[in-house]
Amino acid sequence: MTIVEILENEWFKKGYKPPRFEQADATLGDPGSVYNESWDSQNLVVEWKEERPAPPIITMNAFELILASQPQGLDLGCLFEKQTLQGFVKRETRFTSKCPATEIISKIERAAKPLGFDVKKSNNKMKLLGEKADRKGHLAFTAEIFQVAPSVCMVELRKSGGDTLEFHKFYNRLSARLKDIVWTEGHEVEETNGPVPSGR
């Protein structure tokens, strides 16, 4: 019997479902497109991340951004806290940056160490502990990095120990060293080519 005859035999046809082969989708796009992508630092970081498992970066929606910034007025806990004679001295400060989180972390570490701080890192949080102690104990901070948009991070520096005024002094010295990663008005001008279209 030939194969053809077997296929046509009644016995064989009972309960027989002919196999279907999926056509592999060979249209994955133009292979040349890889060379057209803009070679900016964000992509560089993504490639590097693929080699080592990257920590998940928290991305935010508008309401999370509002809450994370802790505007005065939204935090009713203040009603219950002791009011100091000095008035309200903020225990945290924030800035935005267009650099990737990994670069921000290493820059903060490089800036804080010479100022006498021991740095511990974990995911997108850093703990900075001051080596010398004053009357209020060791100065300690946490730095946390949030992804606000694909190319923008928000960095929050919060005091977790020590004197609040010392915190502000330290922050001033630290931010002087972080000028190239902090997004200020000047940087904005570089980014756009002409007037930004307003309204939608």
Partner 1 sequence: MDSTSKSLFIRSSSLTIGESICAVAMIPIVAVIDFLIFATTNCFRYRPQPKKCLYEFTDLTRLANESRFTVNEIEALYELFKKLSNSIIDDGLIHKEELQLALFQTQYGGNLFLDRVFDLFDEKKNGVIEFDEFIHALNVFHPYSPVEDKIDFAFRLYDLRQTGFIEREEVKQMIIAILMESEMRLSDDLLEEIIDKTFADADADKDGRINKEEWKAFVLRNPNLLKNMTLPHLKCITTLFPSFVYNTGVED
- Residues forming the site for partner 1 (CB under 8 A): 60-67, 69, 71-80, 83, 87-88, 93-96, 148-149, 151-152, 154, 182-185, 187-188, 191-192, 196-198, 200
- Catalogue the E-assigned strands of the chain: 92-97, 117-122, 125-134, 137-149, 152-161
* Least Cβ distance, residue 199 to partner 1 (angstroms): 9
Q: Which two tokens stand for residue 78?
A: 């203040």
Adjacency order of strands within the sheet including 137-149: 92-97, 152-161, 137-149, 125-134, 117-122
Cα(9)–Cα(107) distance, integer angstroms: 76
| Beta pairing class for 152-161 and 92-97 | antiparallel
Nearer to partner 1, 95 or 129 (CB): 95
Would you say 139 or 178 has its CB closer to partner 1? 178
Nearer to partner 1, 142 or 151 (CB): 151
- Please report how close the Cβ of residue 195 comes to partner 1 at its closest, in angstroms: 10
Q: Which is nearer to partner 1, 134 or 188 (CB)?
A: 188
CB of 125 to partner 1, least distance (A): 16
Is-contact 109 126, C-beta < 8 A?
yes
Least Å distance, CB 171 to partner 1, is 10
